[in-house]
Amino acid sequence: MTQNLISYDIIIAGAGPAGLLLASELSEKYSILLLEKNKIGTTNKSWLTYKDRFKRLGFSDSFILNEFKQWNFKIQNSELCIEDNYICIDESKFLLYLKDIAFKNGTVFLEDTPLTSYAYTANSISVNNKYKSKLLIDCCGINSPILEKNKHLIKESLYINCYGYIGEFENLDNNNYYTMYDEGLDKISCFGLTKIAPSEAFILFLTYSTEKSNFKDYEERIQAGLKIHNVPPHKRVRDKIANYPTHELKCITLDHIVLLGDSASSSPAFSGMGFNECLRRYKYWSNFIDTWLENGKYKKRNLKIPKDYARSFNKLLFEMFAILVIHANINIMEHLMNATKYINPKHLRLIMRNEVSEKEVIDMIKGLFKEHAFLEFIKTLDTVTLIKILRLTSKLSKSLTLKTLYNLVHPHHKISLHDIYK
Ligand SMILES: Cc1cc2nc3c(=O)[nH]c(=O)nc-3n(C[C@H](O)[C@H](O)[C@H](O)COP(=O)(O)OP(=O)(O)OC[C@H]3O[C@@H](n4cnc5c(N)ncnc54)[C@H](O)[C@@H]3O)c2cc1C
Q: Are 343 and 401 in contact (CB under 8 A)?
A: no
How many angstroms separate the CA atoms of 59 and 40, rounded? 19
Domain locations in the chain as residue ranges = 2-68+89-155+249-302, 159-245, 309-421
What Cα–Cα distance (Å) separates residue 94 from each residue in 40, 61, 98, 292? 11, 11, 6, 28
Task: Give the tens place of pLDDT for each residue, 80-116.
Answer: 778 899 999 999 999 999 999 999 999 999 999 999 9
Residue with CA nearest ligand 1 atom 6: 47
User: Which ligand 1 atom is at minimum distance from the Cα of 263?
Assistant: 26
- Can you give the pLDDT at residue 214? 93
The protein residue with its alpha carbon nearest to ligand 1, atom 18, reads 274
Give, using CA atoms, the residue closest to atom 2 of ligand 1: 45
The per-type count for the chain, helices as H runs and strands as E runs, is 15, 18
Percent of the chain with pLDDT over 90: 44
Q: What is the pLDDT of residue 312?
A: 60
Cα-flanking dihedrals φ and ψ of residue 386, to 5°?
-60, -40
Q: pLDDT under 50 in the chain at which residues?
A: 1, 185-186, 326-333, 335-340
Q: How big is the CA angle at 295 (ends 293 and 298), to the nearest 5 degrees?
A: 65
Residues 316 and 295: their CA atoms lie apart, in Å, by 34
Confidence (pLDDT) at 329 = 45
CA distance 94 to 112: 20
Q: Is the pTM of this model over 0.85?
A: yes
Distance 272 CA to ligand 1 centre (A): 11
Give the CA angle between residues 215, 217, 219 to the nearest 5°: 85
**Ligand 1 atom closest to 194 (CA):** 8
Q: CATH top-level class for 2-68+89-155+249-302? A: alpha beta
> Whose Cα sits closest to atom 38 in ligand 1?
140
CA of 188 to the centre of ligand 1 (A): 22
**What is the structure's pLDDT at 229?**
87
Distance 361 CA to ligand 1 centre (A): 29
Q: Which residues contact 322 (CB under 8 A, 6 or more apart)?
A: 185, 188
Q: Ligand 1: residues whose CB is within 6 Å? A: 13-19, 35-38, 43, 45-49, 114-115, 139-141, 143, 145, 162, 240, 242, 244, 261-262, 267, 272-276, 278
Pocket test for ligand 1, best of 47, 130, 176, 249 (most atoms within 8 A of CB): 47
Ligand 1: atom nearest CA of 144 is 38
* pLDDT at residue number 125: 96
CA of 216 to the centre of ligand 1 (A): 22
Angle between helices 17-26 and 91-104 (to 10 degrees): 30
By three-state DSSP, how is residue 255 classified? Answer: coil
Tell me how far CA of residue 388 lies from CA of 11, 98, 321, 402, in angstroms.
Answer: 44, 45, 11, 11
Q: What whole-number distance in Å separates Cα of residue 410 and Cα of residue 110?
A: 62
Across-strand partners of 194?
Answer: 202
Separation of first and last alpha carbons in the chain: 60
Q: Please give the distance, rounded to the nearest whole angstrom, from the Cα atom of residue 46 to the centre of ligand 1.
A: 9
User: 274 C-alpha to center of ligand 1: Å?
Assistant: 8
Ligand 1 center to 45 CA (angstroms): 7
List, in sequence order, the alpha helices (H) in 51-90. 51-56
Task: Give the per-residue pLDDT at 49.
Answer: 94
Q: Which of 25, 149, 275, 285 has the most ligand 1 atoms within 8 A of CB, as the residue to mutate?
A: 275
Query: What is the CA(141)–ligand 1 centre distance, in A?
Result: 6
